[in-house]
A = this chain, B = another copy of it.
Amino acid sequence: VQAVVARRRQLVVEEIDDPIPGANDALVAVRACGICGSDLHTLDHAEHLAEVGAAMGADLAFDPQADYVLGHEWCAEVLELGSGSSDASIKPGDLVVSVPYLLRGEALIPLGFSNDLPGGFAERMLLSTALCLPVPNGLDHRRAALTEPMAVGLHTIARAGLRDGDAAVVVGCGPIGLAIIAWLAARGVETIVAGDFSEQRRALASAMGAHEVVDPRAEPVVDAWRRVDGLHPLVLFEAVGVPGMLDQAVFDAPARSRIVVAGVCMQPDTFRPLIAVVKELDLHFVYAYDPDEFAATLRAIAEGDVDVTPLITGTVGFEGVADAFTTLRRAEQHVKVLVEPGGPPTVTPTLPTRVDP
């Protein structure tokens, strides 16, 4: 089957071995798989990943210097079930999503970050039947593929420990920043102020529910919050993840506010702890989500509680993925680009379609 293979820092379209479903696996055909910021980061900053294993007290099985197939935000169609999977709650023809792991005995193999099993930038892949969730309500495969990044947003909100009356500042309106805004709006947060350099992303922030949206070159985001509110306890969501953002957040945040770090900065970063001390800041670092949050996200999208349609700005076939990464590194025009087997050779804007109410 065809796949987009990551080989050192390049992406090449190649034939890979057909995955063979084992007991409790499903063989699935990928219908769509989103490109995530962490895909870009992994390709660009692989050298920092080994330290994570050391810090977690375990060897990372994943070697980013060897070949792998990225992609952990998929929606796929079940083709066949491996032996021992007959009692699964899914059957061939079902559209499914799942948390991006494959169960192998006691181990969880992270799909999309594995040298042994393909991620979602492949025609076919293996999923654990026990982790698959059928897509409900006739939800289409594109919106269903947004379950994973939206689950990150839901988990981020949960980690923020929001209290009634809290105001929110969201720094960065990429997929995660916009997911955060969507959940903040769904939760009824009354003051959501967002900032991004890109005009298109700012427009999307408004569409997702931000009440005030600024270009940080014209007005710092926290200043904009002071202008429109300035009174309520503030939670600042850092959703950019490049060096220097955290120091800026610490410098800008009012005393006793909380900073929720959802952007993943791969490089070592420098900040001024003295300022965090004097302000008594809380920093909450956020990673992924739990399976309940993933399932709740799928339900919320399928029920129309959150509308992910505006986030899907483009689709692309395998041969256009490398260019799509380049486009997304500029963080200007696109938010979520979905890789679709058989899709267009270059990133093609998605016509806006709304979920029928």
Q: Which residues of A contact B (CB under 8 A)?
A: 48, 51-52, 54-56, 159, 246-247, 250-251, 255, 261, 264-287
Report the Cα distance A247→B54, complex, angstroms: 13
Q: Are B56 and A278 in contact (CB under 8 A)?
A: yes
> Which residues from chain B contact A51 at a C-beta distance below 8 Å?
272, 274-275
Q: Are A273 and B269 in contact (CB under 8 A)?
A: yes
Q: Are A282 and B284 in contact (CB under 8 A)?
A: yes
> Which residues from chain B contact A247 at a C-beta distance below 8 Å?
268
Report the Cα distance A51→B266, complex, angstroms: 27
Report the Cα distance A92→B159, complex, angstroms: 53
**If the complex has contacts A56-B278, A278-B56, A279-B56, are A261 and B273 also in contact, measured as CB distance less than 8 A?**
yes
A301 → B minimal CB distance (Å): 24
A272 touches which of B268, B278, B279, B280 (Cβ 8 Å): B268
**If the complex has contacts A246-B273, A271-B268, are A251 and B55 also in contact, measured as CB distance less than 8 A?**
yes
Report the Cα distance A31→B281, complex, angstroms: 35
A-B contact pairs, 18 of them (CB 8 A): A48-B272, A55-B278, A55-B279, A56-B279, A261-B276, A264-B274, A265-B277, A268-B271, A269-B271, A269-B273, A276-B283, A277-B287, A278-B287, A280-B285, A280-B286, A281-B285, A282-B283, A282-B284
Report the Cα distance A247→B268, complex, angstroms: 9
Minimum CB distance partner of A241 in chain B = B273
**If the complex has contacts A56-B255, A270-B268, are A277 and B286 also in contact, measured as CB distance less than 8 A?**
yes
Copies in the complex: 2
A52 touches which of B48, B246, B274 (Cβ 8 Å): B274
> Which residues from chain B contact A283 at a C-beta distance below 8 Å?
276, 282-285
> Which residues from chain B contact A266 at a C-beta distance below 8 Å?
274
Report the Cα distance A269→B51, complex, angstroms: 19
Report the Cα distance A234→B29, complex, angstroms: 43
Q: Are B284 and A261 in contact (CB under 8 A)?
A: no
Minimum CB distance partner of A41 in chain B = B274
Report the Cα distance A54→B267, complex, angstroms: 27
Report the Cα distance A289→B70, complex, angstroms: 49
A90 → B minimal CB distance (Å): 30
> Which residues from chain B contact A281 at a C-beta distance below 8 Å?
285
> Which residues from chain B contact A284 at a C-beta distance below 8 Å?
282-283
> Which residues from chain B contact A261 at a C-beta distance below 8 Å?
273, 276-277
A228 → B minimal CB distance (Å): 17
> Which residues from chain B contact A268 at a C-beta distance below 8 Å?
247, 270-272
For the complex of A and B, the 8 pairs showing the least CB-CB separation, nearest first, are A283-B283, A276-B285, A55-B275, A265-B273, A270-B270, A277-B285, A55-B251, A280-B287
> Which residues from chain B contact A48 at a C-beta distance below 8 Å?
272, 274
A272 → B minimal CB distance (Å): 5
A280 touches which of B54, B159, B271, B279 (Cβ 8 Å): B159
Minimum CB distance partner of A269 in chain B = B273
Report the Cα distance A352→B177, complex, angstroms: 58
Report the Cα distance A196→B285, complex, angstroms: 28
> Which residues from chain B contact A272 at a C-beta distance below 8 Å?
48, 51, 55, 268-269
Report the Cα distance A287→B255, complex, angstroms: 11
> Which residues from chain B contact A275 at a C-beta distance below 8 Å?
51-52, 55
